[in-house]
Copies of this chain bind each other. A is one copy, B any other.
Amino acid sequence: MDKLDTVLGPALAVPDAAALDVMRLSLADWLAVGLAGTAEPVARITRDLALSEAGAGQATLFGGGRVPARAAALVNGATSHALDYDDTHFAHIGHPSVAVIPAALALCEVQSCDLLRAALAGCEASVRFGLAFGRAHYQTGFHQTATAGAFGATVAAGQVLGLSQDRMRHALGLAATRASGLKAQFGTMGKPYNAGIAASNGVECALLAARGMESNPEAVFGPLGFCDTHHCDGQVSENTGFLMTQVSHKFHACCHGLHATLEALELLKPVDPAQIRRIEIATHPRWMSVCNQPSPTTGLGAKFSYRMVTALSLSGHSTAALDSYSDALCADPALIALRDKVHVTAQDGLSETAANVRIDGAEARFDLAAPLSLAQRTDKMRTKIAALMGGQADAVWQAGQSGDVAAITALMR
């Protein structure tokens, strides 16, 4: 069994209930962040290009319109990553859902399929290809969301199309020559574009392989192949079981360095903000230069401020909602008064994923590395979706849980 088969075996295995449950969460999450991202410039620009090209109405776009699956995958990938609020897998450091789900969904609109299972196979494959590409690949400058994501999207698309093992290998050989994406785009529209590139590449490679296109499947792991040329130093995992169960979801629409603090605050609630005298936050030193703006005046600044997000959270504003991070709330006198009671210190002994919070006499600690139960993840995800979707929240949640293509696409247009 060669490396390609070693990756594909566990990814294409019959999924267990726990893996499907997590995929349902990721699907609902993907739908919510995609709908919330529809008005972003990168979403509008890619959608406008696809609509100008028109063509067979195979697949639905976020924001409406139906276009060929290959074009839809690019738009929906870029749109769902536009807010950078989607899921992350830290094993290889990539965003699985935004690269894979748009590819699976677009082709599931063309022919009936099990969307949850195809998406899970693709996400799992992307994590496993990413592990094989390794940390050197990422550190050199390749964006695993785009590169590993293209291979994952190809697997998802190939499963929807029912590719044979041989055809799947040719599709992945094509992906080896098609995959691309650089971290140098971070901070520009090029980052969400990378997710769209991955999704579109997956659809294209699977469709071409289905039509008989021949490639060199050794172009992934063999001589002069993708691994040889893209600074890969990882290992193909021999473990079975779905690594996708360990995917992380973002539950707050702000810098990741603030999330442990926000979770610790939840443990101290309810608390009456009017009675608070002093709030102390201890965090890992690395975050002090990242997200400790003491007195932000803009919504963007608030996303990088321990003091401001603490004031928002304790005053009942949802830190999962995009519009909680506004210039207006940064100027609110009551929030400013509460913010000024917050004192942030760096503490060497803490892990990067942990925070200690003390409100007067009460203290709580949270570590993001601690596993969450499905019930806890479900609660937090429903809170996030409610914050993003308002009156549509239940429908979005149900569509994601069901994996029903018609229900999902009805919400997108």
Contact = CB atoms under 8 A, between A and B. Distances in A.
Contacts of A225: 141, 182, 184
Measured as residues with beta carbon below 8 angstroms from the partner, the interface class of chain A is: 35 or more
A55 interface: yes
A248 to B, nearest CB: 24
Work out how many copies of this chain go into the complex: 2
A56 B56 contact: no
Contact of A189 (B52, B181, B185, B214): B214
Contacts of A68: 52-55
Interface stretch (A20-28, A86-94, A169-177, A338-346): A169-177
Nearest to A146: B177
A98 to B, nearest CB: 15
B193 A45 contact: no
A218 interface: yes
Interface in A44-73: 45-46, 48-49, 52-56, 58, 67-68, 70-71
Contact of A211 (B48, B222, B226, B229): B48
A242 to B, nearest CB: 29
A141 B176 CA distance: 12
B212 A187 contact: no
27 contacts: A45-B212, A46-B208, A49-B207, A49-B208, A53-B70, A54-B55, A140-B228, A143-B177, A146-B177, A173-B188, A174-B190, A177-B185, A177-B190, A177-B197, A179-B180, A182-B229, A184-B216, A184-B223, A184-B224, A185-B215, A185-B216, A185-B219, A189-B213, A190-B214, A190-B215, A193-B215, A229-B230
Given A49-B207, A141-B224, A229-B142, A188 B176 contact: no
A110 to B, nearest CB: 10
Contacts of A208: 45-46, 49, 193
Contacts of A223: 184
A183 interface: yes
A330 interface: no
Contacts of A45: 208, 211-213
Contacts of A53: 55-56, 58, 68, 70-71
A254 interface: no
Which of A70, A189, A204 lies at the interface centre, i.e. has the most chain B CB atoms within 10 A of its CB?
Answer: A189
Contacts of A174: 190, 193
A194 interface: yes
A175 to B, nearest CB: 10
Given A173-B185, A176-B182, A185-B215, 7 more contacts: A45-B213, A55-B68, A173-B190, A184-B216, A188-B215, A190-B215, A190-B219
A152 B141 CA distance: 23
Contacts of A197: 177-178
